[in-house]
């Protein structure tokens, strides 16, 4: 999905109109500072700071901090790539016609001790296909026709059409195991129900979240810690101060300007992150002019943004496709590089209006990023007015298709370039919040070709076509990867982040 950067606790509180109250709340401002120089670490437990909000439904979560701790998924990917590792699924076989997959579940248990069964997967697939309750799994599951329980631990999933293996594996990587009788947004609103390495101990939304080791976890010897506590902070500054004073052992999802002050005393870990994309609304003037969009796409200085806003951390991207994806074609970074002279020539040929309003989210760095874009657009004769917005209003207007242009996050496309279409601003239909009924048919065809290409040659051709139509359409212009950052005491090891940018805490330990 196309996302607003993860909502911080401060953004959530401001949107609720209680920012002043939150600032005086001990659980948010100081978060129970203990004065313990070990931050609460006693060999078998750790305390981590966060400014992010928490919720427990893996179908709609934007809470990458803890969701992988509560839930197991059908498969995992090995760090640094896409080698499959059995997780909730013990084994699987994709049909020779690429129209089905048969999955054998591991003999494992949910947190309450109940056995995980095929009917839980069937119920989960049914929810994923429900447009009203499937949330982030609806679009990635659109190729699925039905799921059938073959026996207690075997499920057959049939597809509408032949599907590329990578699409199936990415779906399995993203599919959480949830008990059938708890698998709804309402049931998971306040309490998780999974089979992951940790269980919920208690949750105080104004102070902390505590997790304890799951004794039923299928991966013997993990998790290595008995307990992890997340302490909630109102803002990044307070969290960094707590790390420096020893009140917490680590600080997650840091801001980029924290690195300089932490790198000499702490381990600064990088996650795969997401992508910053400049979106232009092709459904409203002046961005309904594709020639104008193509002109402005050449006036975005990726290197300057990485250097000045992201403090040198990140890699340039030309479209919502991650470096490392089979669909990433670095030649576009040269052929469509920042070039104000070329942009000015293209803009002159494009004609049309030369003014627009850019919505600016409250995400750290968003304002500076948009100011750089604004300055460069002005140099070629295009006036961009910046409109700051608080997080919830920004998100609501983005998803309602009301924004003329903005910078927003796009998640990793994993190993399947066709998954670019899961973003709300990248949907291959009139539900696309940036293109509406102007979505190019060539884009719709390219996404389908990527998702159904089952040979190397077909995949090569499909990926090349997808790149071409996205770059030519120019409504989603890549800026750079946005790495996630964490600061940790140097006695801590085993910290990891998966390809979705979810924290993996089962191997975390202290020495």
Give 508: exposed, middle or buried? Use CB within 10 Å, 0-12, 13-18, 19+.
buried
Residue 31 pLDDT exceeds 80: no
Q: In this predicted structure, what is the pLDDT of residue 52?
A: 83
* pLDDT mean over 420-433: 92
Q: In this predicted structure, what is the pLDDT of residue 42?
A: 55
User: Tens digit of pLDDT for each residue in 139-165?
Assistant: 899 999 999 999 999 999 999 999 999
The structure tokens listed for 383 are 């006036």
Q: In this predicted structure, what is the pLDDT of residue 355?
A: 98
Q: In this predicted structure, what is the pLDDT of residue 357?
A: 98
* Domain architecture of the chain: domains with CATH: 9-70+196-272+484-510 (3.40.190.10), 75-182 (3.90.76.10), 274-482 (3.10.105.10)
User: Tens digit of pLDDT for each residue in 48-85?
Assistant: 999 987 789 999 865 677 889 999 999 999 988 899 99
Q: In this predicted structure, what is the pLDDT of residue 9?
A: 46
Q: In this predicted structure, what is the pLDDT of residue 62?
A: 58
Residue 126 pLDDT exceeds 90: yes
For residues 147 and 144, what is the distance between their CA atoms, to the nearest angstrom? 8
* pLDDT mean over 120-135: 96
**Binning pLDDT at 50, 70 and 90, where does residue 109 land?**
very high
Q: How many residues does the chain have?
A: 511
Kindly state the percentage of the chain with pLDDT values over 90.
82
Q: In this predicted structure, what is the pLDDT of residue 148?
A: 98
Bridge partners, 481 (sequence order): 275
For residues 39 and 46, what is the distance between their CA atoms, to the nearest angstrom? 7
Asked if 475 and 434 count as a contact pair (C-beta separation under 8 A), the reply is yes
Q: In this predicted structure, what is the pLDDT of residue 11?
A: 39
- pLDDT, averaged across the chain: 90
User: Tens digit of pLDDT for each residue in 239-274?
Assistant: 999 999 999 999 999 999 999 999 999 999 998 889
- Residue 51: phi and psi, rounded to 5, are -110, 5
Residue 1 pLDDT exceeds 90: no
User: Tens digit of pLDDT for each residue in 187-208?
Assistant: 999 999 999 999 999 999 999 9
> Collapsing DSSP states into helix, strand and coil, what is residue 230?
strand
User: Tens digit of pLDDT for each residue in 92-104?
Assistant: 999 999 999 999 9
Letter string b/e over residues 374-394, b meaning 16 or more CB atoms within 10 A of that residue's CB: bebbeebebebeeeebebbeb
Residue 15 pLDDT exceeds 50: no
- Residue 123: phi and psi, rounded to 5, are -65, -40
- Global model pTM greater than 0.75: yes
For residues 191 and 183, what is the distance between their CA atoms, to the nearest angstrom? 11
């Amino acid at each position: 999905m196309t996302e607003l950067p993860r909502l911080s606790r401060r953004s959530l509180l401001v949107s609720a109109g209680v920012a002043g109250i939150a600032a005086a709340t001990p659980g948010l401002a100081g978060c129970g500072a203990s004065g313990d120089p070990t931050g609460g670490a006693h060999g078998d437990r750790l305390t981590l700071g966060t400014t992010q909000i928490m919720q427990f439904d893996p179908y709609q979560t934007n809470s990458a901090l803890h969701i992988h701790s509560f839930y197991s998924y059908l498969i995992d990917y090995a760090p640094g790539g896409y080698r499959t590792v059995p997780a909730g699924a013990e084994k699987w076989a994709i049909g020779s016609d690429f129209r089905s997959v048969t999955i054998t579940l591991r003999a494992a248990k949910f947190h309450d001790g109940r056995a995980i069964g095929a009917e839980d997967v069937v119920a989960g697939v049914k929810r994923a296909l429900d447009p009203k309750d499937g949330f982030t799994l609806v679009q990635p599951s659109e190729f699925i026709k039905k799921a059938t329980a073959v026996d207690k631990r075997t499920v057959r999933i049939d597809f509408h059409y032949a599907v590329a293996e990578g699409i199936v594996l990415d779906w399995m990587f993203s599919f959480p195991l949830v008990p059938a009788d708890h698998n709804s947004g309402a049931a998971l609103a306040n309490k998780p129900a999974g089979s992951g390495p940790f269980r919920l101990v208690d949750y105080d939304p104004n102070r902390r979240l505590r997790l304890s080791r799951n004794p039923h976890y299928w991966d013997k010897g993990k998790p290595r810690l008995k307990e992890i506590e997340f302490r909630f902070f109102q803002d990044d500054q307070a969290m960094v101060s707590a790390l420096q004073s020893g009140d917490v052992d680590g600080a997650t999802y840091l801001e980029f300007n924290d690195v300089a002050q932490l790198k000499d005393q702490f381990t600064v870990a990088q996650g795969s992150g997401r992508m910053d994309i400049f979106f232009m609304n092709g459904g409203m003037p002046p961005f309904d002019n594709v020639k104008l969009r193509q002109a402005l796409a050449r006036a975005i200085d990726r290197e300057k943004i990485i250097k000045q806003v992201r403090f040198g951390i990140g890699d340039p991207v030309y479209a919502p496709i991650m470096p490392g994806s089979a669909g990433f074609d670095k030649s576009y970074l040269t052929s469509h590089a920042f070039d104000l002279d070329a942009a000015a020539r293209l803009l002159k040929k494009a004609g049309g209006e030369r003014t627009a309003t850019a919505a600016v989210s409250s995400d750290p760095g968003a304002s500076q990023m948009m100011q750089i874009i604004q300055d460069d657009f002005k140099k070629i004769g295009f006036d961009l007015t910046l409109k700051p917005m608080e997080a919830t209003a920004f998100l609501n207007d983005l998803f309602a298709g009301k924004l003329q242009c903005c910078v927003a996050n796009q998640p990793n496309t994993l190993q399947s370039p066709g998954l670019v279409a899961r973003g709300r601003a990248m949907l291959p239909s009139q539900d696309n919040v940036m293109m509406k009924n102007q979505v190019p048919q060539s884009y719709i065809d390219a996404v389908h070709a990527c998702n159904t290409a089952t040979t190397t040659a077909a995949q090569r051709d499909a990926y090349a076509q997808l790149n071409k139509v996205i770059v030519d359409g120019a409504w989603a212009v890549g800026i750079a990867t946005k790495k996630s950052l964490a600061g940790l005491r140097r006695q801590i090891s085993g910290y990891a982040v998966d390809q979705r940018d979810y924290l993996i805490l089962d191997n975390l330990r202290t020495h």
